[in-house]
Amino acid sequence: MPNKPRTQHRSIRIDDAEWEDAEAATAMMGTDRAKVINQFLRWYLRRPGAKLPDRPAVTDWSSGRASDDPA
């Protein structure tokens, strides 16, 4: 059976390293990039009940850029 997503495919431009880190980080959290991006957008747009997605600790998934993140 072919993949039949509930939402239309959208294209966005994201640096390859960021995209790969997002895949690794979300996998560590037991989720996927699309789910986290959707959660973030709902929060950003102030949808009722929306919350920021949980962030994983900086570990092996990081390509090095996250280590200077002060938050």
User: Using alpha carbons only, what angle is made at residue 61 by residues 4 and 64, rounded to the nearest 5 degrees?
Assistant: 125
Residue 51 has what pLDDT? 95
The overall pTM is greater than 0.85: no
pLDDT in tens, 38-70: 999 999 999 999 999 988 887 767 766 555 454
pLDDT in tens, 30-44: 998 999 999 999 999
pLDDT in tens, 1-24: 566 777 888 889 999 999 998 998
| pLDDT at residue 71 tops 60 | no
Structure tokens at 64: 């090095």
At 15, which helix (H) or strand (E)? Answer: none
Which sequence spans correspond to the domains of the chain? Answer: 14-51
